[in-house]
Amino acid sequence: MWNFFADLAADSALNQWIAETYWLWPVMEIIHFIGLTLLLGGLIIVDLRMAGHIQSITRASTHQLLPLVIVGFVLNVVTGVLFFYGDPGRYSINIGFQIKMVLVLIAGLNALLYHWRVFPIVEKLNEGDETPLLARATAYTSLTMWAGVLLAGRLIPYVGTG
């Protein structure tokens, strides 16, 4: 599957531009890091609160962080696609990248579960109520998947093919 996308990206105008613009890759790395900071920084607080920790923060106030989380995710998607376009041959066969994409998919499905099933339940809770098991499981799954995404992403330069 990744080879199909690599073939589309290879020798495209976007690939050429990224490869030939010497300053672009470091700028994309910086933007990717900022996106990761917004994404994980917000999600850590949201998920820990949803799991029943950090009781001093209200559930409602954690939802104010979600726009920052979404901005961070969008920055990471855009720069991630540009990274892939910039070096499709390397990314398409890299086991770290492949694991990262599987974890992002699982995290995305977990987020859908949260919005469809967990949020309607959590929204009705009073501040002192215990967090339901499904909400805690969703929060811990989110934390685990995004920690895995971070680790797998850091491994990309150091691991080879799978």
| 135-162: pLDDT as tens digits | 999 999 999 999 999 999 999 988 876 5
The total number of structural domains that make up the chain: 1
Question: What residue has token string 């910039």?
Answer: 86
Decide if pLDDT at 73 tops 90: yes
C-alpha pair distances (Å), 111 with each of 16, 55, 74, 117, 161: 35, 22, 15, 10, 29
Decide if pLDDT at 124 tops 70: yes
pLDDT for position 8: 66
Predicted confidence band at 130 (pLDDT cuts at 50, 70, 90)? Answer: confident
Amino acid at 32: H
Residue 112 domain flag? yes
Residue 161 domain flag? no
pLDDT for position 89: 86
Residue 125 domain flag? yes
Distance CA 123, CA 139 (A): 15
Residue 147 domain flag? yes
Residue 29 domain flag? yes
What is the residue range of 128's domain? 2-155
Distance CA 65, CA 41 (A): 9
Distance CA 30, CA 28 (A): 5
Decide if pLDDT at 22 tops 60: yes
pLDDT for position 162: 52
Predicted confidence band at 127 (pLDDT cuts at 50, 70, 90)? Answer: confident
Residue 128 domain flag? yes
pLDDT for position 161: 65
Distance CA 14, CA 26 (A): 16
Predicted confidence band at 126 (pLDDT cuts at 50, 70, 90)? Answer: confident
Q: Helices marked H in 51-132 — which ranges?
A: 59-62, 66-86, 88-92, 95-113, 119-123
**Helix/strand/coil percent split, the chain, to 5:** 80, 0, 20
* Mean pLDDT to the nearest integer, 85-96: 90
Output DSSP code: residue 12: -
Residue 162 domain flag? no
Question: What residue has token string 């990761």?
Answer: 36
Residue 123 domain flag? yes
Highest mean pLDDT: which range of 56-65, 112-121, 133-142: 133-142
